[in-house]
Structure 1
Amino acid sequence: CTFVMCQYWTTSMFTKEVAGSANAIAGGWGNLGGGATQILVGSVLFPLFKMFMSADMAWRTVSIVPAFVAFSTGFMILCISDDCPRGNFRELKRHGVMNHVSASASFHEVAMNFNTWLFFLQYACCFGVELTMNNSAATYFHEEFNLSTEKAAAITSIFGLMNIFARGLGGFISDKFNAKMGLRGRLIWQTTCLTMEASMILCFARAPNLGVSILILVFFSISVQAAEGST
């Protein structure tokens, strides 16, 4: 619910020497919710809802639960959080501590920076893959191996649950590479993670049976989360 804000906050609060680890651990534990949601919604709540309505209606109705949690969390953050460690932007601007910059001018400056689009492509290749897997993996296991929705969701949750350590590990190693080699070290580590991820995608697509598919899914997820943590 607060992923983007979380990444901004950790970047603001921690120095560059440990920002990779801080971002990765906070983001990873946040993305852990993707795996938890698969289990809670697909394997626990969905069967309960089916007791009172058709399967199609239950699958649509059960989505109200994560939607309510997301809305409630967003409202809570709006009420109790600060924009940055020094306070809210509105107050900082009013007291002259922070310069006023229009959103359009800021967006234009960022959009015209070539590095922005490089980061866009890098992150799309890891976080974009995670979003795709969270949305589509259950359907894949359901159709490819004729699993029930509950079993497919439980297996899919493995992908998100790897966030419990893999993303943080990626950020930690990135910090170590940065300490020894600077930014080039971070780039080398991320390239390594993305290469492993690409290899796992090819292997996952050619898995001959369910057992092998699950095994590859684990290593596929680890490489994806580590790549995210290295970004």
Structure 2
Amino acid sequence: MSQGTERVALVVRGGWEGHSPVAATDMFIPFLKEHGFRVRVADSPEAYADADAMAGTDLVVQCYTMGTIEPHQLAGLTSAVRAGTGLAGWHGGIADSYRASSDYLQLIGGQFACHPAKHESEWDGHSQANYFIPYRVNLLPPAHSHPITEGLDDFDLVTEQYWVLCDDYIDVLATTTLKARDWDPWDRDVTSPAVWTRRWGEGKIFVATPGHSLDVLEHRTVRTIIERGLLWASR
């Protein structure tokens, strides 16, 4: 554990630049410092392999999309979480980080599968906006008394809507329903978790799927959920 009353947060950021990992995490670093964290920043998961540093880390904030993680790096992260280090993140930075690692997927409990696009007739070349669709995030009854989501209401976004593959060892606070549209290969609506927590050993994990771009992270409810999630997950 970190010494005294000061807590330590490790921000690991990188991977696909489309999620603006530096700018996105820079939005939350001042918040962490205001809440008494000393913040370290790393640009690769190699930071997880430093056992001494991880033992003194109270919170990992990960924003690393579509990367790879080596076995010794993942072992360091998993050991730290099991010992009480919190792990938190949003969107692809945590739910689509290391696709090739089944052990990482088990740690997180949910994995990005797709974000459905608009109809092809509405596409604008190869723009990311082809995947920005309107949808609602629905808070479940447990959310009303949970410190991450207490006092918040359902909210609407126009951005990527994540279809998530998950297990039932996650505690879901909010969901989103992906509609079956005439041009889709699925023929009924699919509900996926949008905000969830998970306990792993002595550690706590927080995931929110909204957060593709900076404007989404600036959405009042999204930002509130993430900020509360960071504090909740920390040791």
TM-score (norm: length of structure 1)? 0.27
Of the two, which has the highest radius of gyration?
Answer: 1
Point out the structure with the larger strand share.
2
Larger RCO, structures 1/2 (Cα 8 Å, 6+ apart): 1
Point out the structure with the larger helix share.
1
TM-score (norm: length of structure 2)? 0.26
